[in-house]
Amino acid sequence: MCLHKIVPFLLLLTLTPAHEAQDTSAKTPSDPAVYMVVFRTPAHVRHSSPQVFHGFTHDLWSFLREKNVLLKVDPERGTIETESEMSVGSMLNIAKQAGATSLLFVTVDRPLSKWIKVTVQSYDLDGKLMWSEQASDAGSMTGKGGYKKALERLQTSLARRLGGPGLPVRTEATIVPAPSEGVVKP
Amino acid sequence: MRRLLIPWLLFALAGQAIAQAPPTLVSLPRDTEIKLKMAQTLTSKHAYVGERVELVVAEDVTVGDALLVPKGTRVLGTVHFGKTKEGDKNNPHRVVIQVDYVRLGDRRIPLSGMHSDKGTVKKGTVVASAILLGLSGVLIAMNSRTAEIKEGAEITAFVAEDVELPALGPVNKSAKEPAPNPGAR
């Protein structure tokens, strides 16, 4: 009888962890990834156009992708670009369920004294603000110039944070499939 | 030794087979009521038709003792009535949202339900405008009303079709049963 030969395999089989109840409500984040939400302030709604808002979001998204930041693409909405107020708690809930490990909250504003003002805040999943960066421009002659300068300033300050908390970048060891879609309007 | 080992192995394998069995599917019937909460604030000044709306499940959805949709699960809806397009400066004074589906893992469970807000005019504003500008002030005040559905507002939706879902676990009885009233006799 060759029972003694198969016993180790049977033991191994029985000691394998049992199938756990599948919790489909939230994906367990394995690799670090950032979920981006972009908010347009009422002042920007009054004094600027949706094209500027979506254009800035697109440029920022492209910059982060170019720098290999691990951005989480929401299968439902791509990136949330909204004029409606949403609490950080709600955004974190969406980020968690999308499988992200941090939230990048971008606020696009248009104060009267500036062409554009952009604030980027990074939160961990516990809701703790890890860092914040701000860029604006008031000195340019045209709105287009102000937009360009503000974007450059923001890119410079974000470049310093690449690879740090809240802005994980893809290394050679990290194998992440490219998202099938880019920025999707809500 | 062999006499003891074989029953033990059979017992262990049977246990493993039970543990590895796919989760039990429970039927969630059509028209089951689901309590939702707004996860964002929506106003008639900004909401435009077709815009996506974020909501969450406010209470665990259970059938018998099985938990099917946990509280906090993401729900998506759409603005059904509002501004005609993004960037439109008009304020339609009314906002209506339509609940579309619950996003449970990779599945979408279709829901039906609508919620609307017509906006209110504050009496003080109307009176002050009437004193300052007369009848035109009243009209301006009436026209300035903004409909708003605040974050956290409760909305009821219904399951749109019969669905079978895996039970995520037993209902947390301690959370469902009300605490005994110490003052009651």
Chain A residues in contact with B77 by the CB 8 A cut-off are: none
- Return the pLDDT at B45: 87
Establish if A67 belongs to a structural domain: yes
Count structural domains, chain A. Answer: 1
Q: Whole domain around residue A124: which residue ranges? A: 35-159
- Reading chain A (186 residues) residue by residue, the pLDDT tens digits are 455 666 555 555 455 444 444 444 445 556 899 999 999 999 999 899 999 999 999 999 999 999 999 999 888 888 899 999 999 999 999 999 989 999 999 999 999 989 999 999 999 999 999 999 999 988 778 888 889 999 999 999 999 999 999 999 987 655 445 444 444 444
| Minimal C-alpha gap between B90 and chain A (Å) | 12
- Return the pLDDT at B158: 97
Helix (H) or strand (E) holding B168: none
| CA pair distance A70, B162, nearest whole angstrom | 38
Establish if A6 belongs to a structural domain: no
Contact state of A86 with B151 under an 8 Å Cβ cutoff: yes
Chain A residues in contact with B87 by the CB 8 A cut-off are: 49-50
ipTM above 0.90, yes or no: no
Q: How confident is the model at residue B4 (pLDDT cuts 50, 70, 90)?
A: low
Between strands A34-40 and A80-82, the pairing is parallel
> For the segment B105-146, what is each residue's pLDDT rounded down to a tens digit?
889 999 999 999 887 777 787 788 888 888 777 777 777 778
- Return the pLDDT at B17: 55
B172 or A10: which leads in pLDDT: B172
- Return the pLDDT at A21: 40
Residue among B41, B42, B109 at smallest CA distance from B81: B42
Establish if A15 belongs to a structural domain: no
Average pLDDT, whole number, for chain B?
Answer: 82
Mean pLDDT calculated for residue range B151-159: 95
A139-143 long-range CB contacts below 8 Å, 24 or more apart? A140/A115, A143/A48, A143/A52, A143/A115, A143/A116
B2 or B58: which leads in pLDDT: B58
Contact A134, A109 (CB under 8 A): no
- Return the pLDDT at B180: 44
Q: How confident is the model at residue B21 (pLDDT cuts 50, 70, 90)?
A: low
Establish if A174 belongs to a structural domain: no
Establish if A164 belongs to a structural domain: no
- Return the pLDDT at A128: 95
Phi, psi of A42 (to 5 degrees): -55, -35
Name residues whose C-beta falls within 8 Å of residue B97's C-beta, 6 or more positions apart in sequence.
B42, B47, B53, B77, B78, B79, B80, B114, B115, B116, B149, B155
Give the chain B residue whose CA is nearest to the CA of A92. Answer: B39
Contact state of A90 with B87 under an 8 Å Cβ cutoff: no
Q: How confident is the model at residue B87 (pLDDT cuts 50, 70, 90)?
A: confident
Chain A residues in contact with B103 by the CB 8 A cut-off are: 76, 97
Chain B residues in contact with A77 by the CB 8 A cut-off are: 52
**Encoding tokens for residue B92?**
């339609």
Q: What CATH number did the domain enclosing A64 receive?
A: 3.40.50
Q: How confident is the model at residue B91 (pLDDT cuts 50, 70, 90)?
A: confident
Residue among B96, B101, B90 at smallest CA distance from B51: B96
Helix (H) or strand (E) holding B20: helix B2-20
Q: Is the pLDDT of residue B20 over 70?
A: no
Give which of A5, A13, A14, A24 to mutate to test B binding, by max B Cβ within 10 Å: A24
B4 or B61: which leads in pLDDT: B61
**Encoding tokens for residue B136?**
């035109």
Helix (H) or strand (E) holding B15: helix B2-20
> Which of A14, A83, A90 faces B12 most closely, judged by CB atoms?
A14
Q: Say whether A5 sits in a helix, a strand or coil.
A: helix
Establish if A86 belongs to a structural domain: yes
Which residue intervals of A48-87 are DSSP H helices?
A: 50-66
- Identify the bridge partners of residue A33 per DSSP, sorted by sequence position: none
Domain ranges of chain B: 22-170
Residue among B22, B104, B20, B26 at smallest CA distance from B66: B26
Mean pLDDT calculated for residue range B78-93: 87
Contact state of B105 with A49 under an 8 Å Cβ cutoff: no
> Which of B69, B86, B166 faces A50 most closely, judged by CB atoms?
B86
- Return the pLDDT at B38: 96
| Minimal C-alpha gap between B129 and chain A (Å) | 23
Contact state of B151 with A45 under an 8 Å Cβ cutoff: no
Residue among B41, B40, B50 at smallest CA distance from B84: B50
Contact B75, B60 (CB under 8 A): no
Contact state of B40 with A22 under an 8 Å Cβ cutoff: no
Chain A residues in contact with B21 by the CB 8 A cut-off are: 19
Fold classification of B22-170 is Lipocalin (2.40.128)
Residue among A89, A103, A123 at smallest CA distance from A38: A103
